[in-house]
Amino acid sequence: MIYSKESGPFALIIFGGSGDLSYQKIYPALYDIAEKGHLPEDYAIIATGRKYTQEEFYNFFEHSLTSDNRHHKHSVENAIFKSLEKHMYFYQGDNTDPNFYTGLSKYLDKLVKEGLPCGNRLFYAGVPQSLYQTVFANIKKSRLNKSPCGWARVVIEKPIGEDEASAKKLDKIITSTFTEDQIFRLDHYLGKETLENVLVFRFKNNIFEPMLNGNNLDHIQITSSEDFSIAKRGKFYNATGALKDVGQNHILQMLAIATMEQPKDDSDEAMIGERIKLVKSLTANPKDIVYGQYAAGVVHGKDAIAYRQEASVPKDSQTDTFFAMKVNVNNERFKNVPVYIRAGKQMAMWLTEISYVFKGKDPYRNVLTIRVQPNEGIAVKLFTKKPGLEIKVEPTYMQFCYKHYFPGEAFDAYEKLVQDVFAGRHTFFNISKEVEAQWRFIDSLSKNRTPTRFYKAGSWGPKEAFALIEKDGRKWLEPYPAFCQI
């Protein structure tokens, strides 16, 4: 279900409209939606912030689409850009000032008087969570949380809170202004095409799902590595770290989708319920987690500074930019099938994948790998006979590659999830109980931390991460370099 010309007018109000999230993710997603013709004739996108005049904002918006951005690689058509720009507005002000909200309410009324039909209302909370109390209280006080002519909804970005207790406090703030059906807690990993396809691959086919269990699997591996630094996020990142930044959300989402039971139907409730059930079944020994931090090194032939040399990072910081851990799924299907997870920044390559490693004398002969990014696809590692008179075997791969079967049909995760919000579909968003279950698991580990180890930028992490898996007689998989590059 998508938002379309028949769906009626809307106003999208972006708090933090001059920030990095809007620049990197939201504006490119809105362009892609417009490019596909999924916006109605009448709508308004109102960015809010302290920085810009209307003209300066137009320049900021254009630059967000035309600058180098790994999330938005294709060209921008001038006609579509100009059409979208006509619907873009910038409301300047300080969102910590209560008068900002009464002024915003009057501004929305003014747009209606000038010809924008009264319609649905969507808020995007792209601001620090320390401002939530002020923002949501004033949205409610000024009655912005209700639209006189349609629905009103709000999008909240991950991570929500820094532990289970703070997540509950934030949830109380949010639900004091919006009801649960109005709230969309966004983790963009749930919008990734390949991750959504894991569910189809597992539950709509009869080949592999019967084999994905403790009778046939030796273990599962999840790798989520990035070949870039924290950039300008030093203040946020140093207070958060890798485990809380991506472990609590991205990684647990992937693990849940890779190992959850089949929902009874395709409803939001059934899908989310199985994810929650899976997360609640997870256990891990705090001693089976390795925390790492990147030191100076070389990434793709270029010198890289250490984390402690990044802007706004203390010189003695112990914050983790990497973690590796062993997790157990305590259900009947995956009993005795350990899951090894590693994730971090400034590593050897940019890669996210899930690998099911099958049992055998050499368990690494047969591996089912789902590549989430880049070169999205699914591959099965098999051994086949080489041509010739002698019986010689070598590893080969059977592959399904998105870019080959569906060229030109790629959907960015934010594009898909914004469409889902318009459509009122919660399947690939978190509810409060899911967020709390995720934090409960992460809290049990972060409260009993092992020391932070160091690894060279451009490597696959600290040596202790290799020892973690090797002590069980296993090894980290080498990523297949030709994955979906035929």
* Model confidence at 191: pLDDT above 60: yes
- Residue % of the chain over a pLDDT of 70: 97
Do 120 and 62 sit in the same domain of this protein?
yes
pLDDT of residue 147: 86
Q: Is residue 425 part of a domain?
A: no
pLDDT of residue 6: 47
- Residue 113, both tokens: 């008087």
Q: State residue 323's pLDDT score.
A: 98
Buried b (16+ CB within 10 A) or exposed e, 415-425: bbbbbbbbeee
The three-class DSSP label of residue 438 is helix
pLDDT, tens only, 356-367: 999 988 878 899
Q: How confident is the model at residue 470 (pLDDT cuts 50, 70, 90)?
A: very high
Residues pairing with 381 in the sheet: 367, 397
Domain that holds residue 33: 5-157
Instruction: Tell me the per-residue pLDDT of 250-260, one tens digit each, with 9 for 90 and over.
Output: 999 999 999 99
Q: CB neighbours of 107 closer than 8 A, spacing ≥ 6?
A: 46, 91
What are the start-end ranges of the E strands in 244-389? 282-283, 289-295, 297-299, 302-304, 322-329, 339-344, 351-358, 367-373, 377-385
pLDDT one-digit tens code per residue, 58-87: 999 988 888 876 666 668 889 999 999 999
Mean pLDDT of 394-421: 83
In a domain, 475, yes or no: no
Task: Among 100, 135, 157, give the residue marking a domain's end.
Answer: 157
- The helix, strand and coil proportions of the chain, stated in percent and rounded to the nearest 5, come to 40, 25, 40
The answer to whether residue 71 is catalytic is: no
C-alpha to C-alpha distance for 91 and 96, rounded to whole angstroms: 14
Please check whether residue 352 lies inside any domain of the structure.
yes
Comparing 153-162, 342-351, 433-442, which segment has the lowest mean pLDDT? 153-162
39-43, 98-102, 327-331, 344-348, range with the lowest pLDDT:
39-43
**Element holding 65 (H helix, E strand):** helix 54-66
Task: Give the Cα separation of 438 and 433 in Å (integer).
Answer: 9
CA 469 to chain centre: 26
Kindly list the strands in the beta sheet with 120-125, ordered across the sheet, starting from the edge strand earlier in the chain: 88-92, 43-49, 10-15, 120-125, 152-157, 183-186
Looking at the fold, whether 106 and 200 belong to one and the same domain comes out as no
Give yes or no: residues 211 and 352 share one domain.
yes
The answer to the question of residue 87 being in a domain is yes
Looking at residue 206, its pLDDT comes to: 87
**Nearest CA among 93, 41, 84, 38 for reference residue 61:** 84
Angle at 371 between CA 485 and CA 275, to 5 degrees: 165
For the segment 288-310, the average pLDDT, to the nearest whole number, is: 97
- Report the chain's mean pLDDT, rounded to a whole number: 91
Q: Which pLDDT band holds residue 104 (cuts at 50, 70, 90)?
A: very high
**Given pLDDT bands bounded at 50, 70 and 90, which one contains residue 1?**
very low
Across residues 21-27, what is the average pLDDT? 89
* Distance in angstroms (rounded) separating the CA atoms of residues 177 and 275: 26
Task: Reply yes or no on whether the pLDDT at 482 is more than 90.
Answer: no
Of the candidates 142, 153, 63, 136, the one whose C-alpha atom is nearest the C-alpha of residue 108 is 142
Asked whether residue 4 carries a pLDDT value surpassing 70, the answer given is: no
Distances (CA, A) of 281 to 211, 252, 342, 412: 21, 12, 20, 31
CA 8 from centre of chain? 29
Shared-domain flag, residues 132 and 206? no
> What pLDDT, on the 0 to 100 scale, is given for residue 376?
87
Cβ burial of 215 (10 Å; 0-12, 13-18, 19+) is exposed
The DSSP bridge partners found for residue 327 are: 339
Please report the pLDDT score of residue 410 as a whole number: 65
CA 196, 202, 206, 208 torsion-angle sign: positive
Higher-scoring residue by pLDDT: 35, 410? 35
The yes-or-no verdict on residue 5 having pLDDT over 60 is no
Q: Are 293 and 322 a contacting pair, CB within 8 Å?
A: yes
In this structure, what CATH number is given to the domain that contains residue 57? 3.40.50.720
Are residues 401 and 294 located together in one domain of the fold?
yes
What pLDDT digit, counting tens, does each position of 252-286 carry?
Answer: 999 999 999 999 998 999 999 999 999 999 999 99
Q: What sign does the CA torsion over 408, 412, 416, 421 have?
A: negative
Residue 485, domain member (yes or no): no
CATH number at residue 211: 3.30.360.10
- Are 122 and 214 contained in the same domain? no
User: End of a domain among 132, 157, 182?
Assistant: 157
Any domain includes 395: yes
Kindly state the tokens that stand for 179: 């009801």
Asked if residue 172 belongs to a domain, the reply is no
**Domain total of the chain:** 2
Better-predicted residue by pLDDT, 119 or 163: 163
Lowest mean pLDDT among 4-18, 139-153, 157-171, 421-435: 4-18
**DSSP 8-state secondary structure symbol assigned to residue 192:** -
If asked whether residues 143 and 203 sit together in one domain, one would say no
Catalytic residue of the set 188, 250, 300, 426: 250
Which is more confidently placed, 233 or 302? Answer: 302
Same domain, 133 and 59: yes
Cα–Cα distance, 85 to 140 (Å, whole number): 29
Rounded to an integer, the average pLDDT of 158-187 is 94
Can you give the pLDDT at residue 71?
Answer: 60
Backbone angles phi, psi at 108, to 5 degrees: -65, -40
Residues 393 and 447 in one domain: yes
- Say yes or no: 455 and 307 in one domain: yes
Are 109 and 215 found together in one domain?
no
Q: Per the confidence metrics, is the pTM higher than 0.85? A: yes
Same-domain status, 201 and 126: no
Residue 171 belongs to a domain? no
